[in-house]
Structure 1
């Protein structure tokens, strides 16, 4: 989930004209051309991480993220029974209040994993058929031929062809302005309205053919969940996913405020917001079941470990969740399942998701057995620069983040500092930004 649905060309023009242009991989909406979709299960593979956690290297590489320009970041790493948590930088640039490892954080599209688990629980109970058309369950919401062509599975793996709602909900973004983002800070919106914006957007392809990341898919999934359970989606996910996983600091906020210790969340928005502005207070109805969850990095590790360990879904449903489609951008970059993806690092394959809301980014990956894990949050978004041709240039923050991620997941084989990224951090956002 990210408020980044705008024309890159228009934004580049506006930002460069203003003197500076800052961009990052936080755009989680947009399209990417995939090979003809033939769903398959990706082998979980093995992970070679060397020895136990190097705490000094983890602290050093996290500090380097702040030295590269990030305001504040927090990280939680696990290797079997060994754990490390760290934080670097500030939670408030004015008061210099420091960040701490256990701060609550808006985790954006990582919420999609929670929503997918909830829907798959209904599959296990026979209330939902993954390959049934969504029109069977929500004929008034997705009517006509589209409702008969788009299946539940296509919603969850982003092959529905349904456009994102962001441009319709925040129209100023298409003009290179963040005015509508500010105007809607305290406005509550119904999920049905978000779906309407998405259905009115241009289709991104024929159902089942191309992979295209759309927050609308997961708002529809939340409404499906409400239809078959008779329960508010946030209430159901809290009871049957969050609490079942034993998470103590994970919730759907009911007000624009985060109810606990948290960092401010700063957005530069391609240089259009200068200096970056705090958006930690925002009505979460705009994120809905696509991105509204608030959590901590430690809780995210627990969640993915519990999920991959088979404690939230049955064996059959978990296998369906890990059944993926390839996502390509010239070269295949990762494999998307049902609300979760597989990403290959130099030391093996990891599962998880990334997420963004305006001002906050999150990245969470776990080894297939949940033994080696990283969850990381940052509080400054869209900081990269773009050149006069509109090309995204890697920022030193990107390389510092990549170094910390590899140190956390791959261990001692990681160089002290990367000169280029051997993998794509935050792949859904980076891929979407490149297609603008």
Structure 2
């Protein structure tokens, strides 16, 4: 890549991350990490404020909630259990619940495969009773459940028929860690450490089972409300379904092919397969990732790039995340933020990659 192109790219990143007024919501606060074979060296930036009450700046040690990017980790752990012969992708949810002694039962026909690709019919936040919708579902997110109680609660949430349609379900991916803990007899934190963090050399990866657990260097998530940043200081963590790390760890995750290096080839191939192609041409979803073949365009995560890529992002309680790998790992991009919104973060990532892949 020419010097002029590199300078343009770096300038473009700087403009995307640094608007004129730092107290406005578009101000980027977080980490960005770009590694590409088209660049002579990686680009890493950390800027913004991790904790406004104590004036703590974001740096390379700051830890973020990775929001829905955690689905790619959860899916990988399920597939590792399949590879070990513990489960089958066609194993039914109700069979596993009965096996592990849980009382809750869901609609018949829900399998691990359908849960992983959001065709289970299980509900999501919008399907909760109206009493839980206030203030971005904070009444729900501040509830405390044990595993049995949470499964019983989710079994009462509105469900569609399994296998029929795509319905993005956070709750499906909340149930899977409970099943993993029951199968392995370990906390989700320990499973994550043994099967992903340690093999890939991740130094920082947390999945706390209680909000009382202290995560070193954890950023506070903020959202803009009436012109002021509001700290989101409490969500119940008792079910261990959230993952916290840094951009460095997510870069290792992308460099592992989104976790495929930890799986046998037969299962790794399923991760980036479009499991929705028989029901819609508008969306794509594999197992924890959205995969775009060369030249493809879908409704979710379209970067308007010609090369193939896979992507996932998320937003929760002031935290935003994006992880993208282009052209079989030729370029990997991670963005983690603790303010703003997911749309702004996506547009920043899109701008960076469009600049990178524009012809000289």
Structure 2 residue 208 is the aligned partner of structure 1 residue 208: no
1:312-391 paired onto structure 2 within 5 Å:
312-326=262-276, 332=282, 334-342=283-291, 343-347=301-305, 348-381=307-340
Q: Deviations over 1:143-201 (max 9, x none)?
A: 6672x411110111111111136865x9644355866268x3xx643233333222211
1:308–1:370 CA contact under 8 A, matched in 2: no
SS in 1 for 2:332: strand
CA distance in 2, matches of 1:158, 1:135: 17
1:363–1:377 CA contact under 8 A, matched in 2: yes
1:168-187 paired onto structure 2 within 5 Å:
172-175=131-134, 180=139, 184=142
SS in 1 for 2:321: strand
Residue 135 (structure 1) shift: 2.1
Normalization by structure 1: what TM-score? 0.67
SS in 2 for 1:189: coil
**Quick one: which of 33, 44, 51 aligns to 1:76?**
33
1:239-250 paired onto structure 2 within 5 Å:
239-250=194-205
Q: 2:349 maps to which residue?
A: 405
CA distance in 1, matches of 2:218, 2:21: 18
1:73–1:88 CA contact under 8 A, matched in 2: yes
1:231-310 paired onto structure 2 within 5 Å:
231-256=186-211, 258-268=214-224, 271=225, 275-285=228-238, 288-289=240-241, 292-308=242-258, 310=260
Residue 134 (structure 1) shift: 1.8
Residue 214 (structure 1) shift: 1.5
Residue 255 (structure 1) shift: 4.2
What is the number of residues matched between the two proteins? 337
Q: Could you say if the C-alpha distance between residues 413 and 310 of structure 1 is closer, same or farther in structure 2, counting changes exceeding 3 Å?
A: closer
Q: 2:296 maps to which residue?
A: none
Residue 336 (structure 1) shift: 1.0
Q: 1:389 maps to which residue?
A: none
Q: Deviations over 1:199-228 (max 9, x none)?
A: 21111x210111111122112211222233
**Quick one: which of 193, 203, 216 aligns to 2:149?**
193
1:102–1:297 CA contact under 8 A, matched in 2: no
Structure 2: state its 5+ residue gaps: 292-300
Q: Deviations over 1:339-367 (max 9, x none)?
A: 11124433233213112221211111112
SS in 1 for 2:257: helix
Question: Please, what is the CA RMSD of the aligned residues?
Answer: 3.4
Normalization by structure 2: what TM-score? 0.80
Residue 278 (structure 1) shift: 1.2
Q: Deviations over 1:319-345 (max 9, x none)?
A: 122222349xx982x411111112443
Q: Deviations over 1:278-301 (max 9, x none)?
A: 124543226x33xx1001112101
CA distance in 2, matches of 1:293, 1:191: 18
1:52-67 paired onto structure 2 within 5 Å:
54-64=9-19
Residue 115 (structure 1) shift: 1.1
Structure 1: state its 5+ residue gaps: 1-49, 383-396, 416-436
